[in-house]
Structure 1
Amino acid sequence: MELEEVIEDQDEQDDEILNEDDESTWLKWLVLFPGRTLPIVERNPRPIDMLRQCIAKDRTFGVACIRNVNSIGTTAEIYEYTVESRMHGLEEVRVKAKGRQRFKIIRMKNITGRIPVADVKILPEIELGPPNYQCRIASLDRLRGGVADRFNIKRLNKVSRIDSAITPWPSWVYNLYDPKKLSSRIHNYLKFLESKGGNIPSDPTDLSFWVAQNLVITPKTALSLLEIDCVILRLQREEKLLRKLANNVFVCKRCGAKVAKQTDVFQMNEEGVQSAYCNPAGAIHETITLYKAQSLVLDNAPPSSEYSWFPGYQWTIAHCGGCRSHMGWRFTAAQRDLKPQSFWGLTRTSLIWGERESHYCDEWDSDDENDETTDQSDTEFLPPYSNVY
């Protein structure tokens, strides 16, 4: 990904200022969804100038994968930043930004000087109502409200069957396009997280973005979910993914060694089981937190609390026991009153889904890093890149 400057809605007729490619910071593998936090540590003067302009204006920039015109991205709003002085008069800027709205690049333009310009359009989040609303039985409206919990869903299913009795289609067809029922089915797949105290959104739009950013999927699949305008279609695709991956396990991307089960995952922060963290060098790691893991070995170095992402915890680097590739870190509590006392933080790029007996990747995994003509050991060096505007 490239760090570049602020985006505005095209409807306001403002141009978007973008940094030149050779002055940008690359953020590999990261696809930003609305609601997600993006941490940035920057030491290069040009990106620092861009961030200063963002902070002085409206604190907004954008993140997108530049493949061609009409690329889709997400605006990000800076909500926290610090500036630290370094040696020789240099500065280090640390920024935290939150994904806000999806956008589409309409036109990229070159102008004299160093800064190219692009026009973008903010995309709406289309959330349709119940599919059979126009032909419903109005006398049953008093039974349609309430929270989409499992008891209310049973009542809604009964009402839906009665409504569909006067239509050409059975109720199960309408259920495929009902946002509340889609959300309920996705929550059923994620019950193991809710039982551990996980906070999963109930709003269909928020849920669709939460699932997309917490699933271990390839960047191409993540981008395809970001490109979908309709919440119902996004939820349908995510339900299909969850159904297919429900009984699978996490395996090492390089050698296929079994690492963990889906039920080993837990939520360590409010955003979900997978979050982006930035190390002191500026590298961003999308990290999944798990209670248990196997087939991993730890470095001999003693645990360190320096730059720990989790206050009160010390980290030790973890490698795959089979191929020795870097997998992430094991975090151990420095105090007895912290819970859990230990857990694993594994990078998303080190893991893929695997069946219990055979190698497996999600069905939309057809981008370059998993091309059939590419050796598996080289795939981690062939990610698609996205640009931060």
Structure 2
Amino acid sequence: MSDDEQERTIAEDLVVTKYKMGGDIANQALRLVVEAAKPGVSVVSLCEKGDAYIMAETGKVFKKEKEMKKGIAFPTSVSVNNCVCHFSPLKSDPDYTLKDGDLVKIDLGVHVDGFIANVAHSFIVGVCKENPITGRKADVIKSAHLCAEAALRLVKPGNQNTQVTEAWNKIAQSFKCSPIEGMLSHQLKQHVIDGEKTIIQNPSDQQRKDHEKAEFEVHEVYAVDVLISTGEGKARDGGLRTTIYKRDPSKQYGLKMKTSRTFFSEVERRFDAMPFTLRAFEDEAKARLGVVECAKHELLQPFSVLHEKEGEFVAQFKFTVLLMANGPHRITSGPFDPELYKSEHEVQDPELKFSISAFTTVAALWTTFPMIKLRRDDVTSSINPTICRRHILFPLLFSLRESSPHDESQDNEEEEEEEDEMETEDRDGEGAEKPTIITFDPSLPTSHAYLGSDMEEFHGRTVHDDDSCQTIPVLPHTAVMLVPGQTLPLQLFRPQEVSMMRSVIQRDRTFAVLAHSEAVEQEAEFGTTAEIYAYREEQEYGIETVKVKAVGRQRFKVHEIRTQADGVAACLPIDDALRLQLLKIDSAIQRLRCELDIMDRCTSLCCKQCQDIEITTKNEIFSLSLYGPMAAYVNPHGYVHETLTVYKTNNLNLVGRPSTLHSWFPG
């Protein structure tokens, strides 16, 4: 970035959107690799799977912005047991095959236009609720996870990085574990993965002296990286080949070897200052040769493969957090289930224990509907702001108290004195400047004109009977505390949220907002229904966006949360035998597991008669319909065909001239 360019931050809505898009892709890539990490699977294949998914998904966003760089911000690495980090082997390197009971750490990153979303997650291969993990593996995973949760509460404007360091030490000690010495969590900026402000883990005396104290500020972004060991916390170079590097823009050198110059030129063109893996080069042998001179003269920074002592275990959790004006917002995380890990230890520090006490965060997708019990508010209160000559009380926050007769008389006296004083000033000061009359539109705070003036408006009101049970979709937002009568503006771009709102509009325009707050550490069981009164769909930067104005209506109590598993099968390109198998399963959870297994195994679509000839792949499927990629078509003779929409196909040999006479999608 040149000196003339202004640094772009999350104060811009578009920057936030790019961070969230990268975060969504990173989360999905992580889940894909976690689900594929089974006994007998090689680490190389997992790394390739994660990187391929990131490149494919980032290639689908901002297609019109030809010059925009996007892709991998940190190559997928899979570090097992005592391997601390950065294990991402080449095809020509010795590989590792996963086994039952391995402690696996997956680390990866995504960037959209240089805005980075990093994530890392730890789990045990083969773990299940029927056989939870105990012992030292459970201790270290629990410890690392709680350290991450504590950091989420401590990394906020006004706090200092030293507070996070001390909290990590206390939590790790409670589980008889140690943070990896000297590891850093970095501030993120556009195209910068290792910003100036850092959080250090378990510093030595010298590191503590040298490390710069810093205060977190609004509109900053951090990749919070927690690495905890069952051992001493000393990470060492284990002697394995380094495969991940990053360009150091501050270093310059005239390379002597042609292979090195060619290699370095490709690094600058493809990766800029983002970390990359030698596996990304077409010719690994030339890449291994070219990197030597570049690393020797510090043009590239190595990410060495580090190890703890043999027999120890290391767990890692990393998340990206945006320090928004309304509080920290975590955009990346992994699928952690605390019931899978049973430790005999717990956090000892009372303040930390309260801060990170367990609670259930409800983040329902549009396919998840809660059964809620509704209660109507008995009293509706309203507040009218007072405007005096000298002060404007802006109608945002109010501090209310009861007024006594004494208070009223005192206020009246003060007001009369103020009027007399102003009259005296006006008489005495001939050249005095007259008071400026300030007017403002009292409807401005609730109009939300920035969402657009052409929103479709709705009238009427949906009222549910007292003490009745209703099935209402839940908004998957945990940072909104809505009360009846309050206006709720929303800008939604995640596919599940957009789909949910389309469904809500077609019904009674009512959805539920659970009352969850990080300030109140308990499970969300109450909330408020919201009714949409203005709605608009549009495309911004190639992304489908829904803008909504809603108002809080009625309080409710959650009665039951139900997960519906029948909508998934309708979107799967599966044969009749598999559909019959799904129909026979009574349990919704078992049906979902079976469907997830089918989706994991279904990578290619082949000709039914030729069997092994691939027509298209799972990645080419897209949803032309609101209800998914699968549809049905009945021809003029009454025969029903099932149809599937894809971007492109292979190995199709048409017999005769193609006809569009009865096509359900013209052309």
Return the TM-score normalized by structure 2.
0.18
Higher radius of gyration, 1 or 2: 2
Return the TM-score normalized by structure 1.
0.29
Larger RCO, structures 1/2 (Cα 8 Å, 6+ apart): 1
